[in-house]
Structure 1
Amino acid sequence: MTNARTTRAADAGTPQATRGRPIVVTAEHIEAVALRLWSERGFHEVSVAEVAAEVGVTARTIFRRYPTKADIVWGPLTASFQILTEALEQTSPRAPLLGRARTALVGMIRDGDTDPTARHRIRIVGRTPELQSSTSAPFLLWRQSLYDFAVAQPGVDDLRAQVFAWSAQSTALAGLIWWVTQDPGTAPWQAVDEAFAHLMD
């Protein structure tokens, strides 16, 4: 009976509490509400408390799932860096390093664009300098994935791997921010592909 109530609440789009039981919400629902509000009104203009009220839970409930506000934005993107590692390994070893990064990153962003929240996440990051910090945990993971791939290639030393990782990451980010701010009417992966084309020209 509880499962049926939870299912009906989820179908309705707003979680409902059953008698004597706490509200049950999914991470996907929390992220969808937060991303919609932040995309519409701005990351700094909407607090976690406002997100929680919209979801129908307390801010404390959300912070049990997400240690920081930024973690809600990054969500599944953090896990996608394993996908990036696999995508890099599948590129042609005969191609130059930056060419392999271009293929892997463009493919990963293109495949992820089917997620209805993906563009919201990109827009929020692109509009929020704080989320673009090169020392944030997601950015460190992203750059580490690129570095680990490069340094494992024949003839690539530490410095070259570092330059590659920073260059590939910065180029992809530049393409995404340009897509957000210029609204060119294309897909985000196309903007990233164009950014790499300029770097490699």
Structure 2
Amino acid sequence: MTSEKPRLGRPVATSHAQIEKAAFRLFAEHGFDGTTIAAIAAEAGIGRRTLFRYYQSKNDIPWGQFDRRLNDFRTILNDQPNDLPLHEAVHRSIVEFNQFPDNAAPTHRERMQIILTTPELQAHSVLRYTQWRAVIADYVAHRTGHSPDDLLPRAAGHISLALSMSAYEMWLKDPYAPLTPLLEEAMLNLQSYLRN
């Protein structure tokens, strides 16, 4: 019988959530621009190289596991009944996609406050918005028999994003406002564009 040798060094035990909590603590204290990757890694108790296994850059951290969330968004859209009017299917999916547990940390409000108000993140955010719009364009194209690059699906993605962003801007202005009713109200405007 052989005994296992103890592992040397500090064991790496972390997660996306732990890194995000550490980063948001530092963002609140030093601002986004004043927080370095090295500081986030140290706060999370990991090395820089380990952090980069979870996030490619500091700009990716506020977005969380966005690629996984986009896959969830595709699933939400594809689970809508085919006989549901297109505008309503997109409307319902966007509202569902934007629901988060109250105990999420960082909170969804903290996350969106940084994403929408940090100048250093704006160029990176454009890439994320493009990915989000593409999910809607793909769905609308599938439902209408268009190509995702055709005008209707592309415009549906842009309009949906604009409506969602308007709701988010109103939500961030009022710390007591619930997000869902604002999204519901904003998304009603889709009906005039995606009638089918």
**Does the pair score TM above 0.5?**
yes
Is residue 163–residue 187 contact of structure 2 (8 Å, CA) maintained in 1? yes
Q: Distance in 2 between matches of 1:177 and 1:40?
A: 23
Task: Tell me the CA shift for residue 150 of structure 1.
Answer: 0.5
Is residue 127–residue 177 contact of structure 1 (8 Å, CA) maintained in 2? no
Q: Distance in 1 between matches of 2:47 and 2:140?
A: 44
Is residue 106–residue 193 contact of structure 1 (8 Å, CA) maintained in 2? yes
| 1:104 equivalent among 89, 93, 107 | 93
**CA RMSD of the aligned region, Å?**
2.9
Q: Give the alignment of 1:26-175 within 5 angstroms.
A: 26-27=14-15, 28-39=17-28, 41-111=30-100, 115-119=104-108, 120-133=110-123, 136-154=126-144, 156=146, 158-175=150-167
Using structure 2 for the length normalisation, give the TM-score.
0.76
**Residue deviations 1:87-121, cap 9 Å, x none?**
11233444443332221011121245553334132
Q: Distance in 2 between matches of 1:167 and 1:25?
A: 42
> Mean alpha-carbon deviation: is it higher for 28-37 or for 184-193?
184-193
Using structure 1 for the length normalisation, give the TM-score.
0.75
Q: Distance in 2 between matches of 1:33 and 1:134?
A: 21
Is residue 143–residue 169 contact of structure 1 (8 Å, CA) maintained in 2? yes
The unaligned stretches of length 5 or more in structure 2 are: 1-5
> Mean alpha-carbon deviation: is it higher for 166-175 or for 107-116?
107-116
Change (3 A) 1:113 1:89: farther
Q: How many corresponding residue pairs?
A: 183
Change (3 A) 1:92 1:184: farther
SS in 2 for 1:78: helix
Matched, 1:177 2:169: yes
- Output the amino acid matched with 1:164: A
Task: Tell me the CA shift for residue 144 of structure 1.
Answer: 1.3
Task: Tell me the CA shift for residue 35 of structure 1.
Answer: 2.3
SS in 1 for 2:64: helix
**Identical counterparts, % of pairs:** 27
- Output the amino acid matched with 2:106: T
- Output the amino acid matched with 2:141: V
- Output the amino acid matched with 1:79: R
